[in-house]
Amino acid sequence: MGAQIIDGKARAARIRENVAEAVARLGTGHGLTPGLAVVLVGEDPASQVYVRNKARQTVEVGMRSFEHRLPAETDEAELLDLVARLNADPAVHGILVQLPLPPHIDATRVIDAINPDKDVDGFHVVNAGRLMVGLDGMVPCTPLGCLVLIRDVMSDISGAEAVVVGRSNIVGKPMGQLLLRENATVTIAHSRTRDLPDVCRRADILVAAVGRPEMIRSDWIKPGAVVIDVGINRVPAPERGAGKSRLVGDVAFAEAAEVAGAITPVPGGVGPMTIACLLANTVTAACRLHGLPVPPDLLSS
Ligand code: NDP
């Protein structure tokens, strides 16, 4: 195995330390405690785990956590009403509505109701626009975490060929924008892309955000490339016993690690970075809402 294995778990722990220090400074210097509200509608088991982890880590770094668990039959008007109350609540600096929402609720309408300055997920159309035109906004947590990992292992992203596979609004598109902002030459590939292996082979930086287990093979990877695997896919693992499963990424990790220069594992790569960046975004939002400077070292190593 030749590649450097990028330890997202350790890097996320470092960000949480930075955040905890910043939160302590805001408390002593300004009497300000950043607060994150997380809204969960329904009983989706994966969402429940995410929400629990977010709340626990929020408290661990010294911030206030406000959890709102609503039944699956909650209607859109009730949810919009809660969002309006959270927008108006001065103790709440970040609002996150856990996706997916039940099918009878229009997720776009709900996200668009969040005050963009409290939209710590960075999904509001205003924040997507700010990222596109190069203004300070809230940057979606998963691509932000990916960028931190890429910066750690690449001294100069400028001029590099970057290929992002996947064009979702929450990962692929903002990832492309962030890499463009770093002066990479960016290609965003998707399900209609022709000759995807050929496109991937051009990449100095390859980000996979597809949701297809181990789709990207070693012969799609340029030797020495930085490979960031966003995918989280649960696959059967009969070798662990009947009915058991395991998590794999969108990249065939073992064979890709023979070719890449650096690569993220799944689990333990991008996953932990997402919540760490959410906490950092909440501090950023709290500072901006109070007219305070944003600590420059939140994401530093
Ligand atoms: P979406 O399903 O919204 O988007 C998937 C993208 O992959 C689409 O743009 C789709 O193309 C493209 N795609 C699908 N099949 C192919 C194919 N055969 N070849 C090329 N492109 C293809 O997924 P998300 O962006 O929300 O998530 C992607 C993955 O990342 C998932 O595994 C998800 O679980 C994981 N994830 C991980 C996070 C983390 O914290 N680590 C956070 C968020 C997501 P098209 O647009 O043409 O349909």
DSSP-assigned letters across all residues of 209-235: -S--TT-B-GGGS-TT-EEEE---EEE
What's the pTM? 0.97
φ/ψ of 256, rounded to 5, equals -65, -35
- CA of 266 from ligand 1 middle (Å) equals 15
Q: If residue 300 lies in a helix (H) or strand (E), which one and from where to where?
A: none
Strands (E), the chain: 4-5, 35-41, 64-70, 94-97, 161-165, 185-189, 205-208, 226-229, 233-236, 245-248, 262-263
pLDDT digits (tens, 9 = 90+) for 8-44: 999 999 999 999 999 999 999 999 999 999 999 999 9
- CA of 78 from ligand 1 middle (Å) equals 30
The mean pLDDT value for 147-174 works out to: 98
d(CA 245, CA 56): 26
Cα Rg for the chain, rounded, in angstroms? 19
pLDDT digits (tens, 9 = 90+) for 92-134: 999 999 999 999 999 999 999 999 999 999 999 999 999 999 9
Count the neighbouring beta carbons within 10 Å of the beta carbon of residue 89: 14
Who lines ligand 1 at CB under 6 A? 142, 165-168, 170-172, 189-193, 196, 209-212, 230-233, 270-271, 274
Ligand 1 pocket: which of 190, 212, 251 to mutate (most atoms within 8 A of CB): 190
d(CA 58, CA 279): 7
Catalytic residue IDs:
54, 98, 121
Percent residues over pLDDT 70 in the chain: 100
Q: According to the model, what pLDDT value does residue 1 have?
A: 66
Whether residue 267 is preceded by a cis peptide bond, meaning omega within 30 degrees of 0, is yes
Relative to the CA of 266, which ligand 1 atom is closest? 41
124 secondary structure, DSSP code: S
Map residue 165 onto helix, strand or coil: strand
Mean pLDDT of the chain, nearest integer: 97
Nearest alpha carbon to residue 281 among 142, 150, 172: 142
The yes-or-no answer to whether 29-116 and 141-271 have a common fold is yes
d(CA 284, CA 58): 14
Instruction: Identify residue 48 by its one-letter amino acid code.
Output: Q
Provide the residue ranges of all domains of the chain, joining segments of one domain with +: 29-116, 141-271
Relative to the CA of 274, which ligand 1 atom is closest? 40
Q: According to the model, what pLDDT value does residue 288 have?
A: 98
Q: Is 257 exposed, middle or buried (0-12, 13-18, 19+ CB in 10 A)?
A: buried
- Cβ partners under 8 Å of residue 280, min gap 6: 15, 18, 19, 144, 298, 299
Ligand 1 pocket: which of 139, 171, 188 to mutate (most atoms within 8 A of CB): 171
141-271 has which fold? Answer: Rossmann fold (3.40.50)
29-116 has which fold? Answer: Rossmann fold (3.40.50)
- CA of 239 from ligand 1 middle (Å) equals 27
Residue 192 has pLDDT above 90, yes or no: yes
pLDDT digits (tens, 9 = 90+) for 215-265: 999 999 999 999 999 999 999 999 999 999 999 999 999 999 999 999 999
Relative to the CA of 270, which ligand 1 atom is closest? 41
